[in-house]
Chain A
Amino acid sequence: MLAEMIERLLDRHLDEAAQAKARNGEWLPELWAEVEEMGLPLALLTEEQGGFGLSFAEAGEALRLLGKHAMPLPVAETMAANQLLANAGLPLAEGAAGLARGDHLTVTQGTLKGTLERVAWGENLDCLALAVGDTLYRVPRSGWSLAEAGTALNFHPRPALAIDWTVDASAPLPYCPLAAGATVRAFQIAGALEACLDLTLEHTATRVQFGKPLQKNQVVQHELAKLAGELACTTAAADLAGEALARGDLRGVAAGSLRAREAAGNGAAIATQMHGAIGFTREHRLHLYTTALWTWRDEFGGQVMWAKLLGQAALEAGEAGYWPMVTEL
C-alpha cells in the first residue's frame, strides 16, 4: 500500500530534470511538499506517536524504494530523525531533518557550539537530531549557519555547519543517530542495487554484440549472478541491521551496515562494467545509482569505524565465544 504510493509519487514527480537540479545543489520544494503530503516523514513512528505503525517489512520496503528511485532529498534521514526524536520525547521536525553525532561539540553556559562536518542538505533542513555524548539535542534551523560548502559523490550538498545554539530542547539519547543513519542507508543501498540489477539485466538483454545479446555470453551471465548475490546479501544485511537497531545491538547494526557498504562498491563496479561505456555517462540512468552508492557507503560512520566496533567485539569474545556471538547477531 505505502510502497505503491511511494512508487506513484516518484514516477510522477521525480524526473531527470529534478535529478539535475538536485545535482546542482538546488532543493526541490514541490517534491518535498508531496513527500510531506504523503506523511512519509512520520512513516517510521508508531501509531501512538502519530505515525503509520508500519510493520518492520513495510518500513524496510519504503526505505528500499527511496534507494531504488535514487530519491535525491533527505527523506530517509528525516524518517529516521523523527523516529529518534519521538523516542526521546522531543518535538518532531517541521520539515526535513538531519541526523548527526557531534561528540566534539561543547555546551558552555547553555550554549551548544562547534562545527558539524558534512550534513546532507544541511542548509535546507528544519532541524537536526544531534547527539553529543549521552544527550540528544533537537537543534532548529536558527541554531546553525553555513561553515563551509561540501559536495557528495552524487553532487548533493554536504555542507559543514557552524552550530551556535542556546539549548532549549534536549533529552537523554535513546540510541545512536549514526546507527539509525547507517541502518537507513543499508536499506537505500539495497534499493539502489536492485535498480542496478534491473538496469543491467535490461541492458545486457537488449544490447547486441557479435551477433547476440550480451547476456547470452557465459562470462556476462556469471557477472549477473555475482550482482544478484551482492543484492541478496545487501537485502539481508539491511534487515539484519534494522532488527539489531530495534533491540539496541550496535554489533548487529555494524554487521549489516558493513556488508551493505561493501556490496555498494562491488555491485556498482559490476553494473558499470556490464553497461560498457554508456554506464560511465550521464546519458544513462545508471550513474544516479552508482554515484549514490559511492556516497551512501561512507556515511554515518565509515567502514573503518563500524568494522573496528564489530572486530573488537569479536576479538573480545575470543576463540570459544566467537560462534555464540555470531548466532546473536
Chain B
Amino acid sequence: MSAIPFPAPPADSAEVIALRAEFRAFLDQQLGHRTPRQRSDNWYGFSRAFSLAMGQAGYLGMTWPKQYGGHERTAFERYVVVEESLAYGAPVGAHWIADRQSGPSIIKFGTEEQRETILPRIARGELAFGIGMSEPDSGSDLAATRTKAVRDGDLYRVTGTKVWTSFAHEADYVILFCRTSGTPADRHQGTSQLLVDLKNTPGLTIRPIIDLAGQHHFNEMHFEDAAVPAKNLLGAEGDGWNQVMSELAFERSGPERFLSSIELMYQLIAMLQGKDSDAAQITIGRLTAQLAVLRRLSRSVAAMLQDKQDAGLQAAIVKDVGAVWEQVLPDVARTLVDAEADPRTQAAYAGVLANIVHNAPSWSLRGGTREILRGIIARGLGTR
C-alpha cells in the first residue's frame, strides 16, 4: 500500500529507436573531436555553437507547441535526446536550463507575449537561462527569500542578492524568485517570479563565485534598485511559490541526476578492459545493474510526464538514489585502479577522475539537497 508507484515505461517505439540512432550520429558529427576530459564536464559544459546546432536540428523545445517554435514530440523522444546528450558528455549548458525548466515554466504560467517572444528563441538555441532561487540566507529554505520587488508604475524595483546562479555571466535571462509583498515571515505568501534580462538590467551586478575546482560556473547576482519591466512578471503576482515548486519538479526529473559522472565509468572500463580481473568484473557488473535500474526509474518518470501526471515524488526518489550512484563512482574506481587524479593533465583517466572528484560533492546539493529530497519522500509516505 505504501510503495510509491512507478509505472512501467513503454517499450521503445520505432520512432524512438530511429531518433536515438539519428541523434547519436548528430553528436558524433558535432562533437566527435572532444577529449574524455572535455566530455567529463557533462552538463556544466557551455557552448553557444553547440546549442545553436541543437536548435537548428530541432532538438530543443521538442515537446512544446509548434506555435511557439516547438516540435510537438513526445516526452519520450525528448528523454532520448537528453539522456544521449548526457551520455555523450555534450556541452549542454547554453540551452540546458531553458529547455528543461524555464521554457516549460513560461508555457505553463507566462503571458502570451512572453511565450511568443521567448520560447521560439529558446527552441532555436539562442537563449540561455539561469536560475534565480537561492540567496545567501535562503538556500534549502526557499520560502525565506528576501529579494524584494516593488511595483513602480511600469516597473518593478528589485533589491536583493541571489547566489549559485550557474552561467549568469554568460546567460541571457534568469527567472527570479522574489517577494512582491509582505515579509519573509509570510513564507509562501506574497512571492512572485520575474523574467530578468541579464544583459540589459540597470542596477544588476554579476560577480563570480569560484568553486573548489577553480572554475567559474556560479555567480552572485546583486540587485540594487534594479529596474525590471512590469510586463516581465511571470504569470500572476503572488503565485511565485506554486510556480517555483512546479519548476523544481522539472529540474529534478531528468537523467542528469545519475549521469553526471558517466565519463568516469567509460574511462574505468577502458583501464580494466582485458585485465581478466574478478574484482573488476564483479564491481563493473554491480555498478551496471544499479545504473540500468536507475535508468528504468527515470524512464518511468518520463512516462508519467507524458501522461501529465504529477511525478514530483518519483523524481525525488530518482534524484536521491541517482546522486548516490554518480557520487560513489570515484570511490569505487579507486578500489580498482591506483591512479593519482590530476586536474591539469591531458591523460584521460587521471584528468577525468580529477574533474569528477572535484565536482561530485555538488550533485547532492543542486536542485534540492539530499536532506530536502528525503524529507519530500518521507512526506509522500505519510509521515509528516
Which residue numbers of A lie inside 8 Å of B, CB to CB? Answer: 57, 194, 197-198, 201, 204-205, 215-216, 218, 220-222, 224-226, 228-229, 231-233, 235-237, 239-240, 252, 254-259, 262, 303-304, 306-312, 314-320, 322-323, 326-327, 329
Contact = CB atoms under 8 A, between A and B. Distances in A.
Interface stretch (B215-223, B246-254, B283-291, B304-312): B283-291
A240 B284 contact: no
B382 interface: yes
Size bracket, chain B contacts: 35 or more
A255 B317 contact: no
A221 B293 contact: no
Nearest to A221: B378
Contacts of A254: 285, 289
Contact of B320 (A229, A237, A240): A229
A115 B375 CA distance: 52
A322 B383 contact: no
A323 B88 CA distance: 9
A228 B4 contact: yes
Nearest to A191: B3
B296 A315 contact: no
Contact of B300 (A197, A236, A256): A236
A215 B380 CA distance: 13
Name A's interface SS: helix
B3 A232 contact: yes
B347 interface: no
A311 B300 CA distance: 25
B297 A318 contact: no
Interface stretch (B67-75, B123-131, B272-280): B272-280
Nearest to B375: A221
Interface in B33-76: none
A319 B269 contact: yes
A318 B269 CA distance: 6
B2 A236 contact: no
B381 to A, nearest CB: 6
Contacts of A216: 383-384
Contacts of A255: 288-289, 292-293
B374 A221 contact: yes
Contacts, number: 171
B288 A233 contact: no
Contacts of A229: 317, 320-321, 377
Given A311-B280, A314-B288, 18 more contacts: A57-B8, A220-B383, A224-B383, A226-B320, A229-B377, A232-B317, A236-B297, A240-B292, A255-B293, A256-B292, A256-B293, A258-B289, A259-B293, A262-B290, A311-B288, A319-B270, A323-B262, A326-B291
B273 A318 contact: yes
A258 B285 contact: yes
A246 to B, nearest CB: 11
Contacts of A256: 289, 292-293
B151 interface: no
Task: List 9 A-B pairs, minimum CB-CB distance, nearest first.
Answer: A311-B285, A307-B285, A311-B281, A221-B378, A258-B289, A225-B377, A225-B374, A310-B285, A311-B284
B1 interface: yes
A205 B265 CA distance: 41
A160 to B, nearest CB: 26
8 contacts: A194-B2, A232-B4, A232-B314, A257-B289, A311-B286, A315-B280, A316-B273, A327-B83
A245 to B, nearest CB: 14
A233 B2 CA distance: 15
Contacts of B320: 225-226, 229
B161 to A, nearest CB: 29
Contacts of A327: 20, 83, 295
B267 interface: yes
B339 interface: no
B292 A322 contact: no
A197 B314 CA distance: 16
Contacts of B87: 323
A323 B288 CA distance: 10
Contacts of B4: 228, 231-232
Contacts of A201: 2, 381-383
Contacts of B185: none
B266 interface: yes
Interface in B1-37: 1-4, 6, 8, 20
